[in-house]
Amino acid sequence: MNNENFILSLFKESVNAMRGTDWMWPEQWDVDRRIKFLDEALSYGEKNELYEQCSIIRDVKTQIQTQK
The angle subtended at Cα 22 by Cα 18 and Cα 23, nearest 5°, is 35
How far is Cα 62 from Cα 60, in angstroms, rounded to an integer? 5
* Overall residue count recorded for the chain in this entry: 68
pLDDT attached to residue 21: 75
For the chain (length 68 residues), average pLDDT per consecutive 10? 82 92 88 96 97 97 87
pTM: 0.88
9 — phi, psi (to 5°)? -65, -45
